[in-house]
Chain A
């Protein structure tokens, strides 16, 4: 994880645009562990999804997969394409 969740938030608070260069928000699986624990009720998974969405809408690129994982339930495929495409 290059930029830890609290640093993603901190960069946003300070308006540091390099936050978009981080890799960590692409790895967010929206598991909501952060939101459950945060004493102030911040939802970092929502923030990461927002960051991804902003980047994807700006770049207008779709998720490109070389090789599909064999026999993965469609649940995973649909989730991946929806999370990692510009909706």
Chain B
């Protein structure tokens, strides 16, 4: 069984258990093990964008050092953690002076040699979508899903390099391999509002609603994400102003690992799918099948 060292992150252990559990279940179904790294801590949620803020790098570097002691690869699920750890790793390589500052402050030194991957990269580059298609015992026949990347998976592009920043396809390709039909809508790489929900909730609502409504108007029956904050924002914005969706049912938001697990034959309970989410998926498939059957 191929084992990957894995970094959960705080949110996945608390409010986003559904993300982690569905990821672990999907991994098992694909013959992979996501082995939790020893001594992990909060990644800090943000990578500092001001040049003199070195303190915020201390936490991520501890994670990188500890992970390096166990492996040369670290897999993440949460887009936020992925962004922070990958950029911290790159900074360690490029900025020797800052890295020395951080290393002197921390107890553990990080001297490089770790590769930070997102689970999607493992699925795309190591497992391969063809293998996933074969393993999908219960493909989600035609489910119209809106893949939502958000920001942190893809940008800044020069550092993240996961996929094309304007027209990425890794989530669509994954969805396709498990039988879903991804809906092409323009806001799949536009920001959900991120932390603005805390201080400027109206701005967050504006941004998230833009994503939800364009996805809906292009035919998506649900959205799939890779970030607990995106999920929260996309759901919360719909609760705040139901009138904006002109009375339609709220568009459910699930993690891509939940859809993946479902297609691989994992039970909805093990994937922590709520009744409403599962009903929406079943309904989405049903309407897709009906649309095809109709002459």
Contacts and interface: CB of A to CB of B under 8 A. Distances in A.
Contact of A80 (B50, B56, B195): B195
B228 A29 contact: no
Contact of B155 (A32, A49, A50, A83): A32
Interface in A31-50: 31-33, 35-36, 43, 45-46, 49-50
A56 to B, nearest CB: 11
A70 B179 CA distance: 35
A16 to B, nearest CB: 21
Contacts of A45: 49
Contact of B229 (A65, A75, A81): A75
Contacts of A72: 197-198, 229, 232, 236
A76 B232 contact: yes
If over half of A's interface residues share one DSSP class (helix, strand or loop), that class is named, otherwise mixed; here it is helix
Given A45-B49, A73-B16, A76-B194, A84 B232 contact: no
A30 B229 contact: no
Nearest to A47: B49
A31 B191 contact: yes
A84 B200 CA distance: 11
A31 B151 contact: yes
A87 B156 contact: no
Contacts of B50: 46, 49-50, 53
Size range of the chain A interface in the assembly: 20 to 34
Contacts of B155: 31-33, 35-36
Contact of B46 (A26, A43, A46, A82): A82
Contacts of A87: 48, 53, 55-56
Report the interface size class on chain B.
Answer: 35 or more
Contacts of B200: 26-27
Interface string B54-98: 011000000000000000000000101000000000000000000
B244 interface: no
Contacts of A46: 49-50
A2 B12 CA distance: 37
A32 B194 CA distance: 12
Interface of B: 9-11, 14-16, 42, 44-46, 48-50, 53, 55-56, 78, 80, 151, 154-157, 165-166, 189-191, 193-201, 203, 207, 227-229, 232-233, 236
Given A36-B157, A80-B199, 15 more contacts: A29-B191, A30-B46, A31-B151, A33-B190, A35-B155, A43-B156, A46-B50, A63-B198, A72-B229, A73-B14, A76-B232, A79-B45, A82-B44, A82-B45, A82-B56
